[in-house]
Structure 1
């Protein structure tokens, strides 16, 4: 046994124990014959740092993996990072810019080499931070989406999807970021409300018989208009359908077509159609018979005006930035007398989340995956139960998105990433193969140029559940650990990562990637708002760890994770769990001071042959807690699991068992207390790994570290009779303490108790627990004789009434007066608040937080009045 310091210092023990676990390889102990249990971490960006969402996501995963490791499983938590194409390239480009250089000053290979240099020097920040959180990942086999083995898997999947007809090249609209000169995913688009304009133009009919009114928030795109659409039911335009209008500025003749997209109730009911620069217009254009290759493109990769294929844009517009072109177009329309009016309007505007520039829908050739075909088996997997989604409410969202899925654009115009394994001949025909030599064979030895684009990072991370296991080379490891048992993920990447893993896993492994998908919410600010740097409400988890310790932050995350709900950040709660850890620390010091040490085994005979009710009770409480924890973990109810172990430790063990056994530490009690405390450390370990490992070793010599100890077993049934007796004792002591407090009985005053109507069972319990009642309830004598006349407090527990005479203990008259005055005050405030809450004017006009505060105060005053009235009633 090692004497514990008086003060619990999280920082000192955290660094020491994490290094010990990792050095000894305890995150992945050798268990070849054990049942495998596998999870993979959502790979954070190699550029990233730990944010509060990571803290939640990885805490939940670590709780599960430590729990399953303690249960003897061959527990594998695959860890790695994502190469984060745009984010990483942006970081390195910024460094170059600071040195007066830019990416294009280097060859592609030279630039990529610089990225690798940056990764070697700075790319491990987030993995070091995950260690600080206590994540017990398999660092010995850490993966990176750009490492050699993983890259081979990515290339193989691309080529095979192409061979199967599930990956193809197509001309479509993409979200184009002019800053990065690249297509980006929907996830990388941030829609913001901006103050803009709504311009109304007149387009003259070809025959000069009139005009058609259209409106737009992007006037510059009219340089590439290809049609005007009206609703087929709109009688105002029935005679004009099939006719043409002549575009101002370009003079292009474009048809008036019908399409349900045009809403007769909005504006004029006529809509200008620019299929090469608007996602909705692209679909209208296709329905109108325009092929993608014939759609007009008026912008280059920098979002500057270029000539359209029909050559009708005047030279004065060429080379203008899109927003410069906007002003010039509006001026020209106005000069021609065709500007009807301008409205102010709030516009939903797409921005690149990293570049901060307005995203442009742009028509370009890209590589696409046939997501519709791949989605069908993934849909069926959820319907059949092969994949269980928790909470189940997310199933509807899964089906809705998957059943309406669009082709997946997987190419990006970057230098950092997996370069697409495709080579083009001089006619632009692509040849897809794993190597250039294989592509040459396919091309008949023509001269080829490799596609410069790279793959979307979500394409490679979609292979994470099996490519991290060494697929396709390491078949044995894949067979053992695929499918994974569980995936824990934020709901915000359900489609971008989770769904794509399901699609790729089923396609290539012929089996789902994981059996269960757990979706947690977001961590929000205390007031429920989404955290953002602009709002200044971002919380740094490392700062919380510095202040309260990793164990406290982890326990907060688990305790607050309630299925289907977001987590509201509450620093006071984190501080409260630090106090919980301190209480556990002090309990260990108390046990040590009473000669209680480590238990000899997980089921020592001297423990289960206990005779004292208090020891039988705590053994039963341990068994009940194990059972409740197992049930909560089976259902992934992290909040219920945390609540179970918290209340067992704080209430049953620290507040009652220790109190009930103070001064009564015989050999039996020492053995039971040591065993029960061992079980506490094991059960709490998944949530608070650092303090539990420290206390595990401080309590005595151990054959194994706690991280690889054995989860408590349900080896004995709780003793019902003993449990009921201690429950009775706790209720009686609590009731007496409450009465003493309410009646202002001095803490040191000893009282007598006269018991009425006690049955045989209660009498037997009183006889056995007389000493405990004396210590804990300050009752010096118990009698079954009638109580003397005079004021007394009465406490009812089960069938018996305990009468506590107050003569000579307190000033009865003064106490009655005090209670009556306090009760009147509480009732007055309660009724005043009730009146305010029943006032319709207050409820309608007051701020929500003011109403909530009034309701909270009313509840408090109601409870206070009830307590004071009960105290008065006790004064019989």
Structure 2
């Protein structure tokens, strides 16, 4: 029964450092895994495939806590599947991040007083490539620090030649299918970046502005006029109508007539539309179709003109007024001042707080602007994305997020895909000298003399192809045959629309492509499962915000606490669809867990624990059968939770088993068994070794570094070169022993109650005391007497034993009476003085709570939660007064003898 490893336990324990220092070992362990090829997927493997594509971080980015959260969960999934015998591909890459990357390089040029125009498009793009090669991708090194088990041999970049080919291919397919078109529509415009930007790149902030009420029409109250309120006075230069609600009787006579515009002098119509809220303000609104999304839609319904009144930089232009050439904010003030002078400002609220969209990259308020852009017609694509979930081809976890998915895809607007940038995938549209238009595919040549469209594609266009472009599509590749569709997409619910929806639309559009369906049944969606986790917040529930100084750099945590503690903190709190609040107290607790695991493992090694063939079941003690059965129960619970993407539940189960059962109980019980006999010790070493072996493997996906070090020391390579490729624990098929479980449960209760009893009697943890046990046979725990004596620190009573105190403990089979003699172990006078002091404190607390609860004025004003808390304190104080009083009475009797 004794394994070879247990013959020299000190050698294996000495292989570990005195204490766990993650910074000293993590980097070497990681690079060793990479060098060994553990993360490199083999397309020729007979193992079943499991694949995840990494949501590509921006090439300009750094690892933030959201990335760490995402990556930890993906790494946990892939490490577990690898151990379960799957051929795993976790494919990495980076996004070229058009706006962000171009901005970085433009800022560098600005230091020398240069602009991109000074270099021209071709030379500027080459400078961006130079920057990418020299400075981009710092996040990759940070991902290694976290422990990402990624296949670096397949690293991709959205501007790589192969991915560019995929972009051109799907653009042409969509264009030829009539799903890409060019039109003048309203977009989010950044005057600083001078491009349209996506909704995701717009952040909304509450700002102090002004609400100005203006009078249109006649200044004579007896003549037609209308008052409207606006926070954007400058846009009135583009007004082409005033709108009122069709049922608003105040304006019924004016609908269909015109009123005088006080700046342009034009007569503009009054139209009726359900969009208008008759309860807000005057019930009339100015309509500027080219500079407001709601006004644009109303303008389309009523066939209104849509003049653009600003140029690309946000300056007033082409209005024929004295305001041309002014910045939009300057014009806002100047126009108001002019109208005030004319008596047309009839009201002004300042400050007036309202929400304004800002460019995430450049920081300025965005300008809704009518612009000629390229668009994707999404109706059929969005329907296919919705049907994939409805039909069960793709499953969303948690299912509670499905309605949100359908809300988005069932009501999606056409997607603006063009950006006025130089860095990015250039739109493959060419224009002929006579106005001809041609979409040129990757294997085609544009006619000589034709000119390519200057715009580039939205970054989300290329990242929407990520699951299949990264594996070589549109070409038939071994990676696509083996690993597509991907197994699961892991991401936050906040980008369900922006990224997930685009991948689903494109993925379903090509889902019947022979390249993707070869040898596979039916259409192939981009992934089978979508796991949506929540946002990460600090311990006070606030959303992480770099600008507000809220949150933590995960590298700071890794430096201070180690990657394992950082990862376990994130995984332990991860629940499908729920936000995660974490802070320093949480990662500190995780570090304590790592330390606990390390110390427990070192203790086991010092005592010769090693995995091996278990002794016959009937020869094992109740203690051994109990811990093995509990391990199997936890393994099943962990597997079930991981299969449902309930990471937090799985980690919580492992944590409590490791800390509460293995460390707090089994190791203490094992000490007794080690001391019984060599035969019993040998058996215990194997049981402990097997339990620790399985526990380290269960923990490895969440805590890879410490588990690798401990597992290698425990097994000495006898079970493989690394826990990374060790088999995942499987069901034992052994029926659990309910009798052993009952006996150990009763033993735990008995020990706990005796320990509490001892403490009440003033005994220290180290003091042994004689105890008489009655009812122990009926309780059926006689087989645990040695363990009871060792853990409860009690001894057999001698002749002349006289109990000074007694305790009754109700166990599952019978009640056990415990009598102890403290006469020779406790200083009764000192104990009485201590108890008197404790009693006074408890009585003071009780009096204080009673005073508050007896105060009617306090009860009337205090929140229910506060009152409930004080009632709870009163209950505790009452119990303490009774407990200490009873003990004090016992001590007083003993002293008076």
Instruction: Give yes or no for the alignment of 1:729 onto 2:736.
Output: no
Closer, same or farther in 2 for the Cα pair 1:627/1:214, shift >3 Å?
A: same
Cα pair 1:826 1:861 within 8 Å, conserved: no
Cα pair 2:216 2:225 within 8 Å, conserved: yes
Instruction: Give yes or no for the alignment of 1:25 onto 2:34.
Output: no
Question: What is the deviation of 1:514?
Answer: 1.7
What SS is found at the alignment partner of 1:93? Answer: helix
Q: 1:376 aligns with which of 380, 383, 390?
A: 383
* Alpha-carbon distance in 2 for matches of 1:684, 1:265: 60
Cα pair 2:804 2:819 within 8 Å, conserved: no
Cα pair 2:859 2:867 within 8 Å, conserved: no
What SS is found at the alignment partner of 2:122? Answer: helix
**Structure 1 match to 2:412:** 405
Closer, same or farther in 2 for the Cα pair 1:872/1:811, shift >3 Å?
A: farther
Cα pair 2:749 2:811 within 8 Å, conserved: yes
**Structure 1 match to 2:644:** 635
Which stretch shows the higher mean deviation, 7-16 or 587-596?
587-596
**Structure 2 match to 1:299:** 310
Cα pair 1:742 1:868 within 8 Å, conserved: no
* Alpha-carbon distance in 1 for matches of 2:859, 2:536: 30
Question: What is the deviation of 1:232?
Answer: 0.8
Q: What pairs with 1:689-768 in structure 2 (closer than 5 Å)?
A: 689-702=704-717, 703-715=720-732, 716-760=734-778, 762-763=779-780, 765-766=781-782, 768=783
Question: What is the deviation of 1:372?
Answer: 2.4
What SS is found at the alignment partner of 1:714? Answer: coil
What SS is found at the alignment partner of 1:431? Answer: strand
Which stretch shows the higher mean deviation, 811-820 or 628-637?
811-820
What SS is found at the alignment partner of 1:242? Answer: coil
**Structure 2 match to 1:121:** 134
What SS is found at the alignment partner of 2:750? Answer: helix
What SS is found at the alignment partner of 1:415? Answer: coil
**Structure 2 match to 1:284:** 298
Cα pair 1:71 1:711 within 8 Å, conserved: yes
What SS is found at the alignment partner of 2:543? Answer: coil
Question: What is the deviation of 1:800?
Answer: 2.0
Closer, same or farther in 2 for the Cα pair 1:853/1:560, shift >3 Å?
A: farther
Cα pair 1:174 1:362 within 8 Å, conserved: yes
**Structure 1 match to 2:461:** 459
User: TM-score, normalization: structure 1?
Assistant: 0.92
Instruction: Give yes or no for the alignment of 1:9 onto 2:26.
Output: no
Closer, same or farther in 2 for the Cα pair 1:368/1:840, shift >3 Å?
A: farther
Cα pair 1:827 1:862 within 8 Å, conserved: no
Deviations, residues 78-122 of structure 1 (Å, cap 9, x unaligned): 111111111111111111112332211111111111111111111
Question: What is the deviation of 1:356?
Answer: 0.9
Q: 1:664 aligns with which of 673, 689, 700?
A: 673
Number of equivalent positions: 852
* Alpha-carbon distance in 2 for matches of 1:827, 1:170: 80
What SS is found at the alignment partner of 1:662? Answer: helix
What SS is found at the alignment partner of 1:191? Answer: strand
Closer, same or farther in 2 for the Cα pair 1:870/1:58, shift >3 Å?
A: farther
* Alpha-carbon distance in 1 for matches of 2:837, 2:745: 35
**Structure 1 match to 2:180:** 167
Instruction: Give yes or no for the alignment of 1:335 onto 2:341.
Output: yes
Deviations, residues 356-407 of structure 1 (Å, cap 9, x unaligned): 1110010011111112221112222222332222222212211222222111
* Alpha-carbon distance in 2 for matches of 1:180, 1:669: 69
Q: 1:450 aligns with which of 436, 449, 452?
A: 452
Q: What pairs with 1:533-552 in structure 2 (closer than 5 Å)?
A: 533-552=546-565
* Alpha-carbon distance in 2 for matches of 1:567, 1:856: 26
Deviations, residues 508-527 of structure 1 (Å, cap 9, x unaligned): 12432222211111221221
Contiguous gaps of at least 5 residues in structure 1: none
Closer, same or farther in 2 for the Cα pair 1:471/1:607, shift >3 Å?
A: farther
Question: What is the deviation of 1:736?
Answer: 1.1
Cα pair 2:769 2:822 within 8 Å, conserved: no
Q: 1:673 aligns with which of 688, 699, 703?
A: 688
Question: What is the deviation of 1:654?
Answer: 1.6
Which stretch shows the higher mean deviation, 636-645 or 546-555?
636-645
What SS is found at the alignment partner of 2:817? Answer: strand
Q: 1:647 aligns with which of 656, 664, 672?
A: 656
Deviations, residues 522-568 of structure 1 (Å, cap 9, x unaligned): 22122112222333223111011100100001011011123333221
Considering only aligned residues, what root-mean-square deviation do their CA atoms show, in Å? 2.7
* Alpha-carbon distance in 2 for matches of 1:473, 1:802: 79
Closer, same or farther in 2 for the Cα pair 1:607/1:388, shift >3 Å?
A: farther
Closer, same or farther in 2 for the Cα pair 1:830/1:402, shift >3 Å?
A: farther
Closer, same or farther in 2 for the Cα pair 1:6/1:841, shift >3 Å?
A: farther
What SS is found at the alignment partner of 2:289? Answer: coil
**Structure 2 match to 1:497:** 499
Which stretch shows the higher mean deviation, 679-688 or 391-400?
391-400
Which stretch shows the higher mean deviation, 95-104 or 643-652?
95-104
**Structure 2 match to 1:318:** 324
**Structure 2 match to 1:222:** 236
Closer, same or farther in 2 for the Cα pair 1:507/1:83, shift >3 Å?
A: same
Closer, same or farther in 2 for the Cα pair 1:828/1:397, shift >3 Å?
A: farther
Cα pair 2:259 2:267 within 8 Å, conserved: yes
* Alpha-carbon distance in 2 for matches of 1:539, 1:713: 38
Closer, same or farther in 2 for the Cα pair 1:33/1:843, shift >3 Å?
A: farther
Deviations, residues 219-278 of structure 1 (Å, cap 9, x unaligned): 111111111111111122222211112222222222111111222222222211110111
Closer, same or farther in 2 for the Cα pair 1:544/1:845, shift >3 Å?
A: farther
Cα pair 1:206 1:244 within 8 Å, conserved: no
Instruction: Give yes or no for the alignment of 1:829 onto 2:838.
Output: no
Cα pair 2:538 2:550 within 8 Å, conserved: yes
Cα pair 1:422 1:430 within 8 Å, conserved: yes
Closer, same or farther in 2 for the Cα pair 1:794/1:816, shift >3 Å?
A: farther
* Alpha-carbon distance in 2 for matches of 1:533, 1:772: 54
Closer, same or farther in 2 for the Cα pair 1:388/1:298, shift >3 Å?
A: same
Question: What is the deviation of 1:351?
Answer: 0.9
* Alpha-carbon distance in 1 for matches of 2:878, 2:630: 35
* Alpha-carbon distance in 2 for matches of 1:51, 1:677: 33
* Alpha-carbon distance in 2 for matches of 1:624, 1:305: 71
Closer, same or farther in 2 for the Cα pair 1:842/1:471, shift >3 Å?
A: farther
Contiguous gaps of at least 5 residues in structure 2: 1-10, 512-522, 675-680, 891-897
Cα pair 1:607 1:671 within 8 Å, conserved: no
Deviations, residues 806-830 of structure 1 (Å, cap 9, x unaligned): 4514467875785576356436535
Closer, same or farther in 2 for the Cα pair 1:342/1:425, shift >3 Å?
A: farther
Q: What pairs with 1:89-104 in structure 2 (closer than 5 Å)?
A: 89-104=102-117
Which stretch shows the higher mean deviation, 716-725 or 542-551?
716-725
Closer, same or farther in 2 for the Cα pair 1:855/1:827, shift >3 Å?
A: farther
Q: What pairs with 1:47-66 in structure 2 (closer than 5 Å)?
A: 47-66=60-79
Q: What pairs with 1:556-595 in structure 2 (closer than 5 Å)?
A: 556-595=569-608
Q: 1:358 aligns with which of 352, 359, 365?
A: 365
